[in-house]
């Protein structure tokens, strides 16, 4: 009788456990509108369950940040890389960076700065499965600066123009944000998103430099902030607005939910993603940057992530850059 009870208990636990996993998988697919054939469903489910195990283990260990399921939870590593797009081979040399010998005057710095709530901050956009993060990292600071310095209201600009028209290692295969600004200077304008909407696929360049109604902003100049200098980044943020930066995004980054991101594996990884720093603050005595991503408002903290500040976390303090719109 005892043996039968033990068998029944183990069997029931296994069946119930399996049903819970199946329910979680069905709920996940419904929430993210994912429909697969039977064969692919099995593969995706296996990826999801492995990630589910990783997330639960991480969240039980008392880290400074939490992870959650999102649209990436059933994607393979190869598929995840399509949502990046920074080409690290285009990073400026040390000699080139020295040519930007910008001196930032000392000034009193507040304990926090929150541009993400500013009326000039445009809504978070979604690059989709096109490696165009570099274009989004270039456009957001320009949109903000144009609003602050000229229009006083947000004019959405076109990332698709950059994907289609930047010839030096641009498109969905990767690029670099200051190359985008170089192009916009040469092209004499950044098109409005309404005239040149985002498709997430490289196409023929449709920009018309002679069509004044198409142009939403122009780039006057840009510059790099000194590397590994968090104070200089703060001063530049106050002076110029949001900064484009390069980071090394690794697996936990894709599943970020809340808290201050302090992952250590990214510190030794290669740069592969472009994002935008929009402020700073302190949470539970941990200093952080507020970083805007290009994976839509459903990722992270409504499209944002808090990343540890002042320690070159994920190498994000190596290549901060600002842009100045033409007056």
Give the position of tokens 């805007």. 292
Q: 3-class SS at 89?
A: helix
CB-count burial class (<10 Å; 0-12, 13-18, 19+) for 256: buried
Give the position of tokens 């839509």. 296
List the one residue out of 145, 212, 222, 215 whose CA is nearest residue 176: 222
Please give the C-alpha separations between residue 141 and each of 24, 259, 272, 290, 325, in angstroms, as whole numbers: 39, 24, 19, 14, 10
Spatial neighbors of 163 by CB under 8 A, at least 6 apart, are 130, 132, 135, 170, 171, 172, 198, 200, 201, 202, 203
DSSP character for 192? B
Residues that are catalytic: 133, 273, 293
DSSP string, 147-177: IIIIISS---B-HHHHHHH-TTT-GGG-B-H
- Sign of the four-CA dihedral 293, 298, 304, 308: negative
256 close to 300: Cβ distance less than 8 angstroms: yes
E strands within 2-67? 65-67
Q: Write out the two tokens for 47.
A: 């990826």
Terminus-to-terminus CA distance in the chain, angstroms?
Answer: 86
Q: Helix/strand/coil (H, E, C) string of 28-54?
A: HHHHCCCCCCHHHHHHHHHHHHHHHHH
Rg for the chain, CA atoms, rounded: 22
Spatial neighbors of 113 by CB under 8 A, at least 6 apart, are 234, 237, 238, 279, 280, 281
């Amino acid at each position: 009788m005892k043996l039968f009870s033990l068998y029944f208990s183990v069997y029931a636990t296994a069946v119930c456990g399996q049903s819970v996993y199946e329910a979680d998988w069905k709920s996940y697919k419904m929430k993210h509108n994912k429909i697969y054939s039977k064969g692919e469903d099995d593969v995706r489910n296996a990826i999801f369950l492995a990630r589910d195990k990783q997330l639960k283990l991480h969240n039980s260990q008392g880290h400074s940040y939490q992870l959650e399921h999102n649209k990436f939870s059933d994607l393979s590593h190869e598929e995840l890389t399509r949502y990046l797009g920074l080409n690290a081979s285009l990073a400026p040399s040390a000699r080139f960076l020295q040519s930007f010998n910008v001196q930032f005057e000392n000034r009193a710095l507040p304990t926090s700065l929150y541009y993400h709530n500013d009326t000039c901050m445009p809504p978070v956009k979604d690059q989709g499965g096109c490696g165009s993060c570099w274009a989004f990292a270039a456009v957001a600071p320009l949109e903000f600066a144009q609003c602050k310095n000229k229009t006083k209201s947000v004019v959405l600009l076109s990332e698709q123009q950059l994907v289609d028209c930047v010839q030096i290692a641009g498109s969905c295969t990767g690029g670099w944000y200051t190359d985008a600004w170089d192009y916009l200077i040469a092209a004499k304008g950044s098109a409005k998103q309404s005239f040149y909407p985002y498709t997430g696929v490289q196409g023929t360049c449709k920009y018309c430099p002679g069509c004044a109604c198409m142009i939403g902003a122009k780039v006057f100049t840009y510059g790099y902030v000194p590397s590994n200098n968090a104070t200089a980044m703060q001063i530049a943020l106050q002076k110029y607005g949001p900064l484009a930066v390069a980071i090394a995004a690794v697996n936990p980054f894709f599943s970020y939910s809340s808290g201050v991101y302090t992952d250590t594996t990214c510190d030794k990884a290669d740069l592969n993603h472009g994002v935008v720093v929009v402020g700073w603050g302190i949470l539970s005595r941990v200093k952080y940057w507020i970083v805007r991503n290009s994976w839509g408002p459903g990722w992270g903290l409504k499209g944002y992530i808090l990343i540890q500040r002042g320690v070159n976390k994920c190498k994000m303090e190596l290549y901060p850059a600002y842009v100045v719109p033409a007056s």
